[in-house]
Amino acid sequence: MDVGQRLTDQNFPESPEKATLEGKNKFLGFWLFLGGETVLFATLFGTYLGLRNSFGKGPEASEIFQLPIVFIATMILLTSSLTSVYAVLALKENRVKAMRGWFFVTLLLGVAFLGLEIYEFVHYVHEGHTFTSGAFGSAFYTLVGFHGGHVLFGVLWIAALLVRNSGRGLTLYNSPKYYLFALYWHFVDVVWVFIFTVVYLMGKVG
Amino acid sequence: MASHEETKSVHHHTSLQKKIKLKQERRQHNVSFVMMILLTIVAFAAIASDAVSNQVAILFILVLAAVQVFFQLYVWMHLGHKGHEFPMWGIASGLLIAVITVGTLMGLIW
């Protein structure tokens, strides 16, 4: 079967994302990439944990962190992880409209998260907590900013996928692409779980 | 004719099984979502309340974070499904190096 051919309910494989060799390779390669990403974020977390009390000229973490906004951001990202799971379930049932709808909701929630983060960073800078105010500031913006960069990349990725495949059904060619985005998005949420725990909650109690 | 009927019913049977499986999966996803929301609320509450000492609260929320990661990896990223042996090795070695890295960096910077 041609990989670009629209799948029907009759010939729909159980795992369309792994039905071709290319799909299998992408699946394995992406998981190995996520293993590498884990180490990348570990270096940033380790650095942050080492420097988190070196405030320099800036304010202390417990003074500036605002838990309500972090809580809302956490809920937004958690919900977006659920919507991308719904999208993958729809993918496995060959319901392409539902899948694209859930991915679009995921995209909107990602944008909302980025908006909150930008608002938060602007607020911190006004409070004197900047990239150069101390080692804490440098480590904080590098770690949280790197995660925000991953969210931004994910938003651009799914936007590109949705635009490129608009009006197209699911094929053996585009199913792995959608599936891998969902994996990436879950991983970004996993990193955030540690950021709100290690950076914000631990920063609040010192 | 009879064999044709049979293949048709087999096909129907497998698609029904698939539907049931996906329905179960959906329920699992919903349960793990509610669990993660609850874990998040408990983590924030543990820090906000003065009832628990800070050291205990930090240890507690780190455990909660680990539980959440388990839900994400196993349920949402399907790491528990069959055919995930190599992904398991990839992410497990990543986590091992990650723990060593965090420990080393925390020890080196003082």
Instruction: Report whether B75 contacts B32 (CB < 8 A).
Output: yes
In this prediction, residue B54 has a pLDDT band, given cuts at 50, 70 and 90, of confident
**Structural domain containing residue B55:** 2-77
More confident residue, B91 or B83: B91
Please name the member of B65, B76, B93 whose beta carbon is closest to the beta carbon of A35.
Answer: B93
Tally of domains within chain B: 2
B6 and B53 housed in the same domain: yes
B16 and B51 housed in the same domain: yes
B60 and B99 housed in the same domain: no
Largest CA distance in chain A: 66
B18 and B37 housed in the same domain: yes
List of chain A residues with pLDDT < 70? 1
pLDDT of residue A198: 94
Is A187 in the B-facing interface, judged by CB distances under 8 Å? Answer: yes
What the block records as the tokens of A34 is: 């996520």
B60 and B90 housed in the same domain: no
| ipTM greater than cut 0.90 | no
Q: Quick check: B8 pLDDT over 60?
A: no
B10 and B57 housed in the same domain: yes
B48 and B96 housed in the same domain: no
B101 and B54 housed in the same domain: no
What Cα–Cα distance (Å) separates residue A63 from each residue in A55, A59, A60, A130, B91? Answer: 11, 7, 5, 14, 36
Instruction: Report whether A135 contacts A56 (CB < 8 A).
Output: yes
pLDDT of residue A142: 97
Task: Select the highest-mean-pLDDT range: A154-163, B7-16, B47-56, B89-98.
Answer: A154-163
Residue-wise pLDDT for A100-113, tens only, equals 999 999 999 999 99
pLDDT of residue B31: 92
Please name the member of A42, A198, A205 whose beta carbon is closest to the beta carbon of B54.
Answer: A205
pLDDT of residue B10: 56
Task: Select the highest-mean-pLDDT range: A5-14, A131-140, B14-23, B53-62.
Answer: A131-140
B110 and B66 housed in the same domain: no
Is A45 in the B-facing interface, judged by CB distances under 8 Å? Answer: yes
B7 and B54 housed in the same domain: yes
What is the rounded average pLDDT for all residues in chain B? 85
Q: Distance (Å) from the C-alpha of residue B5 to the closest C-alpha of chain A? A: 16
B54 and B100 housed in the same domain: no
Q: Quick check: B4 pLDDT over 80?
A: no
Query: What does the alpha-carbon distance between residue A56 and residue A132 come to, in Å, rounded to a whole number?
Result: 9
Please compute the mean of the pLDDT values over residues B52-64 and round it to a whole number.
90
Domains of chain A (ranges; CATH) run 16-47+66-205 (1.20.120.80)
B66 and B92 housed in the same domain: no
Provide the b/e sequence for A148-166 (b: ≥16 CB within 10 Å).
Answer: bebbeebbebbeebbeebe
> If you ran DSSP here, which 8-state letter would residue A18 be given?
G
Q: Distance (Å) from the C-alpha of residue A39 to the closest C-alpha of chain B? A: 5
